[in-house]
């Protein structure tokens, strides 16, 4: 095996273990507090509603035919159900499309508590990820680099955004990174613990999200390339060790589907049948979704999408630290033994390969979250750069490095709890970002609690609502006139009639994803709103306009109702009819039939 000296850091900042432990504890506590605040402040996102309580139902019944069950491997489902004891689905729940099922579960009255308990395990995963980043940074570059990397990762707004919701992306980011760094230790001569931890991390990554399968290309490439030219016997031994850890990973994958097997389920091609079915589904989904990018709406994706998304959704502190780290490491590797450069491929090849896959192969362009696994590696590079500057550079350069470190938690504090809508300062924040990216980069349906608070604070009893998402407005006490947004069939309870407020105020709240129009038959369907006064922006995602009783505005709304097939609502909007806003029986039928235009 390659000498462990090849992995030893070139320079270490003089930080004692006691100081390191205290600083790390502070980082974890503060970052955890930011995540917890976000968990409680935000409503359900589009994808979360698919999965609430699903893990508990799968564990009890082993039935992967429930709508939504094959969308992803089950680890995130199990995690979101850990703190939901006694939370049971009915047979009617199981029969519903996952969008409608989640909305109804939230609307039952305990939706806020359910979300809090479903999300908490993912906050803990985020803190675990920061620990893994610290350990890897310390091993490669010393205590100072480990602390800096942990800080950059723990406070990164985009990472916090997806660590505060009960979905798969942050989970995959942590486990993908753990699989790489633990496998590196095992193939370079680690003991049994390294074998078990490397195999376990790989298996859990496979249970997190399907892109983890890229590990089966990346890890062998790393074993072959990281040892440099020659050393054929060592390379062969490394591959044998890798095969052993991957075998454990496969075993963990099958254990994760134990409820499926206990219920009489089968395997396909040596893999759990639901896992294979999920891969087939995702391959069909890779044909593309309607998406928004730089003012354009399309379904085929863009080569520039993910590089631009990383550039505008990553904090300036992390971007600057990564640039410093790239320069520092490039210079250092020119002076150090060549074996060191080959060894560091374990840190730099995986994020590049992962990003290139989504740039050139994936046609999905609905969120930077798809490349979230690159962030731990970016944090390591940034931490290495900052630690080197602090150890060897001038007072001015050290001061700038300290400013970058302080900037990370400061930006995170300022962005809290609106992390999903975060765009960095060069991109213009959420206001500038709305012209660059949409969907889960900006408005994922998370800000109904904020809208309810704004209505209460400003004394607005009722408004029009064009909402992008699956959350339940009625759960937050929002009285609204339904306006077609993501779904063209009304859902839930909404205000009857079209009574105008006595004080003349006449508001419409509209999600920025609806304004961008990527789910609508005409992307510019709501652009006429820009002619009216915008009175509020909620959480960076919901814009509130004052229609001021404009007859022209209400005629535009009537035309939108007609375009959506809601002719009764169009008549109400024109004042041609009074009474309930819809036929309740017909509305329920359409709720059952209507699925998202995805």
User: Residue 493's pLDDT is what?
Assistant: 47
Cα 588 from Cα 490, distance rounded (Å): 9
DSSP β-ladder status, 480-482 and 463-466: parallel
Query: Tokens for 392?
Result: 């060897």
Cβ distance 350 to 184 under 8 Å? no
CA dist 426 → 21, 117, 153, 316, 318 (Å) = 34, 36, 20, 8, 13
Has residue 496 got a pLDDT over 70?
Answer: no
State pLDDT tens for residues 209-226: 999 999 999 999 999 998
* DSSP class of 508: E
Our measurement of the distance from residue 80's CA atom to the centroid of its chain's CA atoms, rounded to an integer in Å, reads: 15
User: Residue 231's pLDDT is what?
Assistant: 65
Query: Tokens for 517?
Result: 């129009």
95-99, 103-107, 134-138, 368-372: least confident range? 103-107
- The helix/strand/coil state of 1 is coil
State pLDDT tens for residues 519-566: 888 899 999 999 999 999 999 999 999 998 899 999 999 999 998 888
Cβ distance 142 to 383 under 8 Å? no
pLDDT bucket at 54, cuts 50 / 70 / 90: very high
Report the chain's mean pLDDT, rounded to a whole number: 90
State pLDDT tens for residues 146-203: 999 999 999 999 999 999 999 999 999 999 999 999 999 999 988 999 999 999 999 9
129-133, 251-255, 465-469: least confident range? 465-469
Cα 256 from Cα 249, distance rounded (Å): 11
Cα 267 from Cα 244, distance rounded (Å): 21
Cα 189 from Cα 145, distance rounded (Å): 24
CA dist 292 → 116, 436, 515 (Å) = 30, 8, 11
pLDDT bucket at 588, cuts 50 / 70 / 90: very low
């Amino acid at each position: 095996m390659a000498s462990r000296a090849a992995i030893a850091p070139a320079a270490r900042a003089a930080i004692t273990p006691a100081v390191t432990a205290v600083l790390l504890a502070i980082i974890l506590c503060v970052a955890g507090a930011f995540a917890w605040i976000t968990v409680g402040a935000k409503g359900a996102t589009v994808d979360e509603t698919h999965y609430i309580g699903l893990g508990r139902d799968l564990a009890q019944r082993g039935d992967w035919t429930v709508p939504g069950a094959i969308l992803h491997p089950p680890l995130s489902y199990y995690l979101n159900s850990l703190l939901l004891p006694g939370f049971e689905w009915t047979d009617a729940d199981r029969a519903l499309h996952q969008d409608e099922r989640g909305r109804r579960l939230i609307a039952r009255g305990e939706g806020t508590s359910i979300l809090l308990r479903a999300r908490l395990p993912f906050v803990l995963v985020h803190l675990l990820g920061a620990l893994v980043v610290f350990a890897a940074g310390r091993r490669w570059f010393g205590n100072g680099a480990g602390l800096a990397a942990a800080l950059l990762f723990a406070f990164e707004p985009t990472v916090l955004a997806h660590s505060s919701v009960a979905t798969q992306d942050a989970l995959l980011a942590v486990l993908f990174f753990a699989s790489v760094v633990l496998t590196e230790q095992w193939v370079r001569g680690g003991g049994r613990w390294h074998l078990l931890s490397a195999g376990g991390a790989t298996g859990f990554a496979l249970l997190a999200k399907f892109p983890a399968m890229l590990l089966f290309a990346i890890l062998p490439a790393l074993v072959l390339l990281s040892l440099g030219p020659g050393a054929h016997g060592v390379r062969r031994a490394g591959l044998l060790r890798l095969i052993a850890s991957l075998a454990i990973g496969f075993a963990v994958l099958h254990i994760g589907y134990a409820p499926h097997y206990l219920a009489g389920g089968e395997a396909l091609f040596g893999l759990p049948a639901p896992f294979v079915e999920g891969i087939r589904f995702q391959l069909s989904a890779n044909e593309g979704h309607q998406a928004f990018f730089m003012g354009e709406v399309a379904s085929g994706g863009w080569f520039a999408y993910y590089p631009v998304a990383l550039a505008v959704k990553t904090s300036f502190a992390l971007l600057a630290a990564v640039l410093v780290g790239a320069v520092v490491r490039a210079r250092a590797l020119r002076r150090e033994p060549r074996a060191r450069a080959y060894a560091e491929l374990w840190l730099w090849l995986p994020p590049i390969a992962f990003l290139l896959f989504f740039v050139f192969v994936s046609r999905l362009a609905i969120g930077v979250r798809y490349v979230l696994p690159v962030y731990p590696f970016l944090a390591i590079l940034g931490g290495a750069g900052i630690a080197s500057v602090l150890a060897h550079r001038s007072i001015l350069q050290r001061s700038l490095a300290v400013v970058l470190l302080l900037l990370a938690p400061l930006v995170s504090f300022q962005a809290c709890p609106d992390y999903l809508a975060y765009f960095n300062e060069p991109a213009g924040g959420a206001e500038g970002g709305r012209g660059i990216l949409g969907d889960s980069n900006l408005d994922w349906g998370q800000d109904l609690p904020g809208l309810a608070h704004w209505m209460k604070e400003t004394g607005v009893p009722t408004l029009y609502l064009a909402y992008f998402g699956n959350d339940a407005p009625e759960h937050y006490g929002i009285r609204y006139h339904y306006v077609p947004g993501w779904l063209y069939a009304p859902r839930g309870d909404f205000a009857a009639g079209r009574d105008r407020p006595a004080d003349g105020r006449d508001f419409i709240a509209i999600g920025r994803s609806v304004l961008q129009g990527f789910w609508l038959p005409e992307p510019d369907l709501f652009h006429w709103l820009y002619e009216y006064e915008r009175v509020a922006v909620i959480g960076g995602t919901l814009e509130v306009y004052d229609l001021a009783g404009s007859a022209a505005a209400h005629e535009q709304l009537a035309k939108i109702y007609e375009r959506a097939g809601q002719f009764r609502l169009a008549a109400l909007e024109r004042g041609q009819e009074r009474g309930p806003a819809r036929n309740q029986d017909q509305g329920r039928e359409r709720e059952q039939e209507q699925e998202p235009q995805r």
